[in-house]
Amino acid sequence: MRKLPRLIFLCAPLLALSQPVLRLKVPPDPNVPPVILPEPPATVHVIVQFQDPPSAATVIALAGRGATTVAFVPDNAVLVTMDATVSLTGLGALYAAPLSPYQKISPLIANGDPAVVRGYYLVEFHHDIDPSAARRVILNLPLLELFENPDLASRHLLVHIPDLSREAESLASLAAQDAVAYIFPASNELIQGQPVASDFPLAPGFLIASGEVLGQLVSTFGDGWDGPGRNAATLFYFFSQLTAQLPDLPVQDEILRALAEWAKVAQITWLPGTSATANRTVDIRFAQGDHGDGFPFDGPGGVLAHTFYPSLPAAEPLAGDMHFDDAESWHFGSNFDVFSVAVHEAGHALGLGSSDNPDSVMYPYYRLRTGLSEDDKTGILSLYAAQPGVAPEPLALTVDPPPATTTSATVSLSGTVTGGSGSPVVTWSSSTGASGTASVSGTNWAAASIPLAAGFNSITVTATDATGSVSSAVSVTRQIITPPPLALTVNAPPATTTAATVSLSGTVTGGSGAPVVTWSSSTGASGIASVSGTNWTALNIPLAAGFNSITVTATDATASASRVVSTTRMVSPPPVGTDTTGPTLTITYPSATSLATALSSLTFRGTASDRSGVASVTWSTNTGGAGTASGTAQWSVAIPLLVGFNQVIVRATDTAGNVSWRSVVVTRR
């Protein structure tokens, strides 16, 4: 049975008036700053709330200012699409805020409820999102798989997250999509591809011109038939048309048994009515296709039934009416079971929205039912007085023990809250002075990212409902671990060498953050070593004839450490009268010795000359590249560049073996 989108927002007050209650499943996170509306032409979905139910004139006025109404949100609010140019001044708006990704994820998922099959979720999209656009949202996101199911409601898609280690990341990226209205658990039937069907709770009332009603996010619609508070209610039922598929009396008995399930828990009295159009009367009818209420059925498969919410938000005479699609195949005790569908629809007729819990009667997809779950009972008792035999137990709070010690800057707490009356609110305060509100789903609550000071922290959790409050305190000690000091080792190079270059390596450990290792030599050359884990390497450091001193330095966010090594380049003395002077080498392009570029390679050009003749022009880089230039007297070569620091050394060697070199530093962006 299908449920409408759920939506939660961060309130941004526009007027200093007391706003009506917005009946949302997840309270706004006070620690999350308001979302800034995007500049045109981008638009987002925004909840706009008024002191009174918005009239048709208000909806038209919103449209005139560029805000398109998408859905009704109880109480006294609408969901619109708008951008930063839209002004709400003069419309009597109390609050306006975009949706937060935090508010689009079911508390059952966030709190790790055992009813959730991890990795499989239903994604609901806003009413105005085209189904093909919704599919593109899923297909364009990494880490997600789209599961096809022909029985899903038109605005629902089933997704699978195969890598559970990245589940939180995947859900966060999905909830950040503006087209997504809500994410909630998938039932086993949906995951296994079993045939299912949905329902469509309705509340057209005064907002029928604006379209749909926001439903999956909302636990209840209006105050129920008993008005504000939790009181008793007397309602009437009227069978205006039954199905020819089954005998009349058994069908009536099954539907009356479904109504009685709710009356066992709450003080609701059902009496036979005299007219389908009388006030406070639930008209029960089986019909096909267009049956006069403006919401035609879709034939076999798909929507099994639909129901109008109480007045308000729905208007008489449709308020509370339950309509069953007679094109479906109806049965007793098998699919589609009259009682199972009727007990769900009766919940909507009494004012309940859809549940996120697949074990609940109020879950939006069909399953054979025998009675109400604890989740259903908690929901109905938030609207109506409890029957004397099911009076709530005293309010009780449990807090799962946190770790005694942690090095983290925050801690998350969870537990249960049971008994009491109505919907409890769970808050926390800590010895650091911080405080906040936990999210509550059924009997489970959770509070994430509670800040910790260094040392001992005491955190008090308090549950409050209409009967009073109860508190429990826990403690956790945050240990501050000082990292070991930055340490650098350099593997000793050979004491002597005849090579023109030397490579160095070593390790860098300790410190804080990612270290950078650099080198500089007594020849005037310098460069950056490559670092992999705790190992570093510097290739092709040029050597001058004779003694060379090389300083290696490691630097991190807090400190630096240096080591000095040396090597002597041995050059045999030339015969008397031989050429001992290196070639004349110039780099004509690039002309600067230090430059930046976005190119992946750069063509170097220059000249080289020597009285003995130039044998070759070669090049090497600190990143390990090397090669030979084309030409000698006039030479050129395309040298590849890596992102970051590149030291390019060009060498000219004459026929007598003498070498000259030039260096250019290129930073690739």
Backbone angles phi and psi of 359, in degrees to 5: -85, -5
Classified by CATH at the fold level, domain 584-668 comes out as Immunoglobulin-like (2.60.40)
Secondary structure letter of residue 266 according to DSSP: B
Angstrom distance (rounded) from CA 660 to CA 579 = 13
Is residue 312 predicted with pLDDT exceeding 70? no
Dmax over CA atoms of the chain, in Å, equals: 129
Q: Would you state the pLDDT for residue 16?
A: 35
Predicted confidence (pLDDT) per residue in 227-259, tens digit = 887 889 999 999 999 999 999 999 999 999 999
Whether domain 396-478 has CATH 3.90.380.10: the reply is: no
Q: Would you state the pLDDT for residue 179?
A: 94
Q: Would you state the pLDDT for residue 97?
A: 83
Residue position matching structure tokens 């509340």: 203
Task: Report the relative pairing of strands 455-465 and 425-430 from DSSP bridges.
Answer: antiparallel
Predicted confidence (pLDDT) per residue in 439-478, tens digit = 987 778 999 999 999 999 999 999 998 778 899 999 999 9
Predicted confidence (pLDDT) per residue in 53-97, tens digit = 888 899 999 999 999 998 888 778 889 999 888 988 889 888 888
Angstrom distance (rounded) from CA 145 to CA 162 = 8
Angstrom distance (rounded) from CA 448 to CA 411 = 7
Backbone angles phi and psi of 164, in degrees to 5: -65, -20
Contact residues for 54 (Cβ-Cβ < 8 A; gap 6+): 76, 77, 78, 207
Angstrom distance (rounded) from CA 352 to CA 222 = 9
Predicted confidence (pLDDT) per residue in 575-625, tens digit = 666 777 889 999 999 999 889 999 999 999 999 999 888 888 998 888 878
Angstrom distance (rounded) from CA 48 to CA 89 = 12
Distance set, CA 646 to CA 252, 531, 593 (Å):
84, 15, 12
Higher pLDDT, 113 or 116: 116
Q: Of 491, 599, 498, 566, which Cα lies nearest the Cα of 535?
A: 491
| Number of helical H runs and strand E runs in the chain | 8, 41
Identical fold for domains 223-389 and 584-668, yes or no, is: no
**What are the sequence ranges of the domains in the chain?**
1-192+199-218, 223-389, 396-478, 487-569, 584-668
Q: What is the arithmetic mean of pLDDT over 538-558?
A: 89
Provide the sign of the torsion angle of the four alpha carbons 590, 594, 598, 603, taken in this order: positive
Q: Of 29, 160, 51, 75, which Cα lies nearest the Cα of 427?
A: 29
Q: What is the arithmetic mean of pLDDT over 568-577?
A: 74
Q: Would you state the pLDDT for residue 606?
A: 95
Classified by CATH at the fold level, domain 487-569 comes out as Immunoglobulin-like (2.60.40)
Q: Would you state the pLDDT for residue 210?
A: 34
Other C-beta atoms within 10 Å of 196: how many?
22
Q: Would you state the pLDDT for residue 209?
A: 32
Distance set, CA 600 to CA 63, 85, 543, 609 (Å):
51, 43, 28, 30
Torsion, CA 463, CA 469, CA 470, CA 476, rounded to 10: 50
Say if residues 454 and 478 touch (Cβ distance below 8 Å).
yes
Is residue 573 predicted with pLDDT exceeding 80? no
The continuous run of DSSP H or E covering 374 comes out as helix 374-380
Higher pLDDT, 132 or 1: 132
Angstrom distance (rounded) from CA 439 to CA 437 = 7
Is residue 569 predicted with pLDDT exceeding 50? yes
Whether domain 223-389 has CATH 1.10.10.60: the reply is: no
Q: Would you state the pLDDT for residue 217?
A: 80
Q: Would you state the pLDDT for residue 17?
A: 40
Q: What is the arithmetic mean of pLDDT over 286-290?
A: 95
Predicted confidence (pLDDT) per residue in 393-450, tens digit = 678 898 988 998 998 999 999 998 877 776 789 999 999 999 999 998 777 899 999 9
Q: Would you state the pLDDT for residue 268?
A: 96
Q: Give the DSSP letter string of 116-138.
A: S-TTEEEEEE-TTS-HHHHHHHH
Average pLDDT, the chain: 86
Q: What is the arithmetic mean of pLDDT over 332-344?
A: 93
Is residue 488 predicted with pLDDT exceeding 70? yes
Q: Would you state the pLDDT for residue 597?
A: 92
